[in-house]
Structure 1
Amino acid sequence: MTEVTASEDVRPPIAGGGDRVVPGLFALAIFTSAALVFTVQPMATKLVLPLLGGSPSVWNTAMVFFQAALLVGYAYAHALQRLTSMKAQVAVHLALLLAAALFLPLRISGALGDPAPEAPIGWLLTTLTLSIGAPFAILSATAPLLQAWYARVRVGHVDGQNPYVLYAASNLGSFLALIAYPVLIEPLLTLSGQRAGWSGGYAVFVVMVVALAVVAWRRGGHWGGEQGAGEVAPLERSAPIAWREKIVWVLLAAAPASLMLGVTSHLSTDVASAPFLWVAPLALYLLTFVIAFQTRPLIPLPVTLALAAAMGLACIAFSAFRSGDWLFLFGLNLVTFFLLALMCHQRLAQRRPPPDRLTEFYLLMSLGGVVGGAFTALLAPILFNNVWEYPLVLVLVGLARPLDRSPIRNREVYLFVAAVIACAIPPILSAMFQVDWDFAWWFSNNVTGDMPRLTLMILIVAVVAGLLLRDRTPAYVAIAAMIALTTHYIGRGYEAKFTDRSFFGVMRIGTTQDPRLGGEVHVLMHGTTLHGAQPRNPAFACMPSLYYAPLTPIGQATQTIQLRRPAANIGVIGLGTGAMAGYKRAEDRMTFFEIDPLVDRLARDPEHFTFISDCAAGPVRTVLGDARLTLDREAPGSYDLLLIDAFSSDAVPTHLLTVEAIEGYLRLLKPDGVVVLHLSNRNLDITLPAAAAARRLGIPNLHQVYQESDASPEMAEASTEALILSPSEEGLAEFRRDPRWRTLADTEVRPWTDDYVNLVGSLWRHFRN
């Protein structure tokens, strides 16, 4: 399809116009609005954290809201162009900016009450709409609206013929704000300070729009018009855009938006847990816009097309295999995402229409963002039981490549056949291994015992063939699809035996062998985080394992409390496999507080785990919902032991470790009751903020790091770090006599509160030590 070119102006363009103030003012205003838009996104999800926890799905769903609000803003900017008077446009926009200021400072509306754990998506989208929808949408309109104004104000100048370069300034503001939030804003400002600062930034932006209004009203000779004209003439209308071209715009915008959320889910689910994982894909996504809409892109499109072809095929080949060097897999997936998103956005920039169609272009781009984001965040979790949407879009994005219509050569046919054969060999060998033919036995033992690795070696042929056929788009996409099907067919036999998906993530139940525990052991995985295990041999099945084993701090605390009380009331935040139910006596009461209904269903299914169904003496209660909300409905002074066990993965629900949260736990305890904070985490130091919170509250506390024994069975126990708290010294009496429990030294680390959390500091302390 041919590129749409800008309409010609009857006057020769002025090269510079001798004025840098007006372009600078427009660029600064667009930069500021974009920075505000991308500061409010992590801030809003932080505000909603106490209601829905820290699951990556909360961020992905919130991203769909932001994309939809962006669509509303762009639709408003496009509709405003129906007013031919630029003065009227400015007046309307200023009025709406002032009206949206009534929602400041930003807060989360309580109109809908607490979310239902079974259906949180609708609640989250509606609550965000009521809380920040108006200011976010009106700010989102800035980029297309100010570019449209710029094209009119700078008519007759060279820069006025290409206002799209200001989109690079917009995305640069977004990029810098996104990076600054976790690194600078969150560590230095409380949440209330962030809300106040954002409100101040909004006021500054309104002043900038007023300054731009003055420019529009004056429209002197320096800005391309006649002195004292008093109004900016509308641009000449170009030919309407064909519907086929509009659909292409939507699809080119949808693919990167889907990939952005898909790669986030894939990395956090299938590769490794890492703090701030959502930052990298979104930052790269914004960076591709900056490069694509530059006058002279840093990476030319032909280079992007070649690199994207190679990395796309390589990434698809690795996407089904979750073991290996996680740093390599992180890098491979992020670089591939960056190149594929850049390819789509450069193709969009290549097809941009004349300036008079600018707002229509951005409207359809934002529609594509909503379509791609909604598919990944809302539809895919319903359609798929795993993160299948990611490899699917990796394949389909190949359709965005230019199409070579020249005659097909024999060499290209041979390459395609070679790719087909290479993709067919691994499934055939896998089938041979399964039926255990003599040849298969010899091959697996003498050539390789690692079928995924052998598959990757064979698929090098298909990857090279696909790269050489990259300009033959149908052949390239077909090869990519075959590679995906082959790797996922092979990968299926080396992963979990059961997989299901909820709003809060993908849960896998796998099996491993531990001969000293009687053979087969079922394990529960949430992404790459192990959440519990249970031997299937009846002799070992009711023994709490891993973090909950009798010798760990959790096991010690449970048994100590049970020695005190013939009938103990125990509460556990975080269900996992239900291993704590292995301690329940007939006289005890035990309640699990769990946010994910899927976890409760799996833990109670005897086919998977039997701690609750067979091992617990008597009924075990589960309360669904975020623990901060559900614990508020429990009777004060009723618990002997509260175990807070929700911090082992990357998505740490920080609101469960704040001073206010710990105060809530203490309120539920009997005078000599205890709270055990399970603080094992592979990425963050969360012990010092928790200890600092205990010291601020002036309550007794002790700390223990338990190292698993090399002599114990592999799945019997796990190294565990815990902090135990009590409202009284009486509650910690037995623990103080145990040398395994020690008092932590004083720390200068600031305690976390509902108004202040510093995850970057926790990350830095962890890796420094």
Structure 2
Amino acid sequence: MTDTDIDSVASEPMRNPAPVLFAVAIFTSAALVFVVQPMVTKLVLPMLGGSPSVWNTSMVFFQTALLAGYAYAHALQRLKAVRSQLAIHLALLLLAGLFLPLKISGLLGEPNPAAPIGWLLATLTLSVGAPFAVLSATAPLLQAWYARVRAGHADGQNPYVLYAASNLGSFLALLAYPVVIEPLMSLSGQRASWSGGYATFMLLIVALAWLVWRRRLDDAVASEPGALPASPAIPWREKAVLVLLAAGPSSMMLGVTAHLSTDVASAPFLWVIPLALYLLTFVIAFQNKPIIPLPITLMIAAAVGIVCIAFTASRSGNWAMMFGLHLSAFFFLALMCHQRLAARRPAPDRLTEFYLLMSLGGVVGGAFTALLAPVIFRTVLEYPLVLVLVGLARPSSRTPIRKWEVYTFVAAVLICLAPIVLKGVFDANWDLAWAWSRNVNVSMEQTTQLILMFAMIAAFMIRDRMPAYVIISALIAIVTLSIGRGYDWALTERSFFGVMRVADQTDDRLGGSVHVLMHGTTLHGAQPRDPAFACKPTLYYAPATPIGQVTQAVQSRAWGIRIGVVGQGSGAMAGYKRAEDRLTFFEIDPMVDRLSRDPKWFSFINGCAKQNGPGGTIDTVLGDARLSLVKQPAGTYDLLLIDAFSSDSVPTHLLTEEAIAGYLRLLKPTGVVILHLSNRNLDITGPAEAAARALKAPHLHQIYFEDQNAPDMAEASTEVLILSPTEEGLAEFTADRRWENLPDPKVRPWTDDYVNLFGSLWRHLKAQWEQP
């Protein structure tokens, strides 16, 4: 609410408690609606391997449920009596309360990893659909009721300011989840607290109903001359504009999340930050006097938007700078759209229809990014596409076009074509390209960005000419996407679980061509194509790394061993398989299994592994590893490698005390489990070591630093923790000075009921700051 509204409320708190009660109820409902989103998503994550796509798909569900709630609110307004509306809403709140406390419904069984989206949407609907939809209807309902209850008062003329209060509650609740709620409360505690908050909110609605009944506001409002006069219907063209203005920021919110987690850098809370900024733009846009006026927004959005487009295909530069650039661009472009949306809001009697259209736009944008784009695009192409398209929301000057603007536009177009021409020249003359890179010491990507800098300046200069600005933006996007990639991708494929690429690198010391499997910025295996080097595991799995050390040591104990590997990657662990060994991969993504078994890309499984002995073929069990491993018989494995903790996505449910206890259950008495804990952003070693201590399991730790003299793709620095049910299982490693006992990490072990990712991030950052 604005200062004027607050002063109005403060002047009569005892005489008229309605404004305060409405504000508190709206704030509470908004907080409940948004704190439940990360909570429920966290509950369902273990069923789908902790994939980041779970969040984007869940967001589509929440947006759709929000649309259903807004449609119900709009329909309820057809009843003339506020008292009747309150009674119906209270009854539905009571019915929805039957779904509490929150839990994930098991009616649909386990998800099919080949088609998880339908299962996820249906499971969320059964689990939380009813209470979320009814709660989400509260904000527009209360604003509509407020407009009627306060008809004739100054604050009643603009109930839309309560939407800012609603989004402020959402914003604070969302930020509080990873920083306060998750670190301090178990999941069961969170569920119970949310159910208590739901009950408290119901009491607030009861209080509002009592106020209406006591004061008989229906009769009073009907007699007031200022009571919501009917306004003209919203034209269909205007409805389409409202939907599109809402769709752009919604699509960008999910697009920037997917882009940052796939193409720029790994970060554990990517799903929180864009959503929080998205809500903050609503808070600003729906204020009576926004703290960032629209002209300022338009100027900043034009600058950061065009720069962001130029860097969408870039992998170079400081990742923190890229992180800040993309989030800044998203914030100001979303704010621009939402301020343009707020400026078009209709009269208060059309309030629920306005929110219904806005919610429809949110669903359209979210569904495009989370559901449609992964099907039609092999990479995260939807993000730069939407960055360009939201430029259409810019107002265009109606003043006569000046000559300098025409010259600037033509110059910008020619500048955008220059990198394409230069690349064509270099492709046709490799000697010239080599001389350029040697003498100028600038890559083609850097050259492109330097040239396009002048096009960006030109676009900013004519930003008030919307069509010209959008055309230049599109040209810059096309050029950077076609040239800016820093790898020679031989293959790009996309599934629900992410974008997988096979890069064809050259390393003369490994015989020339090397195929590298990448997911986002994380390497999942590399294999030289030269037969002389092809069957030696590389990167994290190289013989000199801790994973290689343990594998070879356990193999030396017996003629044939049983190996289990969680996380298939390129199948590099199959390079260790002897004819007498048995090897089973546990992998959630069918696409990864297919790529690793195709000799065109990787031949560790179908080529290097010895498969003619008793061990037979190498099996892959598809599905979440926790769900799959629990079905395995106890005492089965000599070696179990848990290798699913990439920096792009940390499936925390694989590092809980219960999970580690399950791994130990599967081992033979002297078996060994390897936890691969290499991570660029989180301290996941502390919680894993704390869980080992809680289980009283013998364990050892090693950090291996790659040999700087080795070929580029031969080794990778690796951190692991190994555990065994008995001291005998780790006997030879205890005598090896490369392995050590860690001091007590003084952290709480993760459990299926408690995970503190924010604490892991903080410990990692603190350790980096303390390094000399």
TM-score bracket for the superposition, by shorter chain length? over 0.9
Contact 1:646 1:653 in 2 (8 A): yes
Aligned residues: 753
Partner of 2:455: 462
Q: CA deviation at 1:549?
A: 1.1
Partner of 1:152: 148
In structure 1, which of residues 696, 699, 703 is the aligned counterpart of residue 697 of structure 2? Answer: 699
Q: Which amino acid aligns with 1:620?
A: I
Question: 2:250 aligned with 1:257, yes or no?
Answer: yes
Query: How does the TM-score come out when normalised to structure 2?
Result: 0.95
Q: CA deviation at 1:235?
A: 2.6
Alpha-carbon distance between aligned partners in 2 of 1:443 and 1:608, rounded to the nearest angstrom: 32
Higher mean C-alpha displacement, 603-612 vs 247-256: 603-612
Written as runs of structure 1 = structure 2, the 5 A alignment for 1:52-451 is 52-219=48-215, 226=220, 235-436=228-429, 445-447=438-440, 449-451=442-444
Q: Secondary structure at the match of 2:331?
A: helix
Deviations 1:365-389 (A, max 9, x none): 0000000000000000000000000
Measured on the aligned residues, the alpha-carbon RMSD in Å equals 2.0
Q: Secondary structure at the match of 2:489?
A: coil
Q: Which amino acid aligns with 1:764?
A: W
In structure 1, which of residues 551, 554, 563 is the aligned counterpart of residue 544 of structure 2? Answer: 551
Gap regions ≥5 residues in structure 2: 1-6, 612-616, 768-772
Alpha-carbon distance between aligned partners in 2 of 1:765 and 1:745, rounded to the nearest angstrom: 15
Deviations 1:618-676 (A, max 9, x none): 12111111000111222222111110011132421010011111121122111221111
Contact 2:520 2:648 in 1 (8 A): no
Q: CA deviation at 1:495?
A: 4.5
Q: Secondary structure at the match of 2:668?
A: strand
Alpha-carbon distance between aligned partners in 1 of 2:399 and 2:215, rounded to the nearest angstrom: 52
Written as runs of structure 1 = structure 2, the 5 A alignment for 1:356-755 is 356-436=349-429, 445-447=438-440, 449-492=442-485, 494-618=487-611, 619-755=617-753
Alpha-carbon distance between aligned partners in 2 of 1:294 and 1:393, rounded to the nearest angstrom: 26
Alpha-carbon distance between aligned partners in 2 of 1:440 and 1:548, rounded to the nearest angstrom: 36
Deviations 1:8-37 (A, max 9, x none): xxxxxx977942432222111111111111
Question: 2:11 aligned with 1:37, yes or no?
Answer: no
Alpha-carbon distance between aligned partners in 1 of 2:337 and 2:594, rounded to the nearest angstrom: 41
Contact 1:152 1:232 in 2 (8 A): no
Q: CA deviation at 1:160?
A: 0.3
Contact 1:579 1:611 in 2 (8 A): yes
Q: CA deviation at 1:409?
A: 2.3
Deviations 1:289-323 (A, max 9, x none): 00000010000001111111111111111111122
Deviations 1:661-701 (A, max 9, x none): 11211221112211111111111111121111112112211
Contact 1:584 1:590 in 2 (8 A): yes
Alpha-carbon distance between aligned partners in 2 of 1:94 and 1:493, rounded to the nearest angstrom: 57
Alpha-carbon distance between aligned partners in 2 of 1:290 and 1:269, rounded to the nearest angstrom: 29
Q: Which amino acid aligns with 1:137?
A: A
Contact 1:253 1:365 in 2 (8 A): yes
Contact 1:85 1:232 in 2 (8 A): no
Q: Which amino acid aligns with 2:152?
A: G
Higher mean C-alpha displacement, 740-749 vs 680-689: 740-749
Contact 1:673 1:726 in 2 (8 A): yes
Return closer, same or farther for 1:754/1:410 CA change in 2, 3 Å cut-off: same
Contact 2:151 2:224 in 1 (8 A): no
Q: Secondary structure at the match of 2:177?
A: helix
Q: Which amino acid aligns with 2:230?
A: R
Runs of 4 or more, structure 1, over 3 Å off, are 14-18, 223-227, 229-234, 437-449, 492-495
Partner of 2:770: none
Q: Which amino acid aligns with 2:240?
A: I
Q: CA deviation at 1:458?
A: 1.5
Alpha-carbon distance between aligned partners in 1 of 2:384 and 2:712, rounded to the nearest angstrom: 34
Q: Secondary structure at the match of 1:564?
A: coil
Return closer, same or farther for 1:448/1:517 CA change in 2, 3 Å cut-off: closer
Q: Which amino acid aligns with 1:22?
A: A
Q: Which amino acid aligns with 1:651?
A: S
Q: Which amino acid aligns with 2:93?
A: L
Contact 1:32 1:173 in 2 (8 A): yes
Alpha-carbon distance between aligned partners in 2 of 1:125 and 1:456, rounded to the nearest angstrom: 41
Contact 2:82 2:218 in 1 (8 A): no
Deviations 1:560-619 (A, max 9, x none): 111112111100000111110000001111011011111111111112111111110112
Contact 1:672 1:730 in 2 (8 A): yes
Alpha-carbon distance between aligned partners in 2 of 1:459 and 1:733, rounded to the nearest angstrom: 60
Alpha-carbon distance between aligned partners in 1 of 2:518 and 2:432, rounded to the nearest angstrom: 35
Query: How does the TM-score come out when normalised to structure 1?
Result: 0.95
Q: Which amino acid aligns with 2:710?
A: S
Contact 1:725 1:732 in 2 (8 A): yes
Return closer, same or farther for 1:212/1:232 CA change in 2, 3 Å cut-off: farther
Alpha-carbon distance between aligned partners in 1 of 2:301 and 2:332, rounded to the nearest angstrom: 5
Identity across the alignment (%): 70
Q: Which amino acid aligns with 1:162?
A: N
Q: CA deviation at 1:745?
A: 2.0
Q: Secondary structure at the match of 2:152?
A: coil
In structure 2, which of residues 23, 35, 60 is the aligned counterpart of residue 27 of structure 1? Answer: 23
Q: CA deviation at 1:712?
A: 2.5
Return closer, same or farther for 1:725/1:133 CA change in 2, 3 Å cut-off: same
Return closer, same or farther for 1:486/1:234 CA change in 2, 3 Å cut-off: same
Question: 2:757 aligned with 1:759, yes or no?
Answer: yes
Return closer, same or farther for 1:441/1:702 CA change in 2, 3 Å cut-off: closer
Alpha-carbon distance between aligned partners in 1 of 2:673 and 2:413, rounded to the nearest angstrom: 60
Q: Which amino acid aligns with 1:154?
A: R
Q: Secondary structure at the match of 1:137?
A: helix
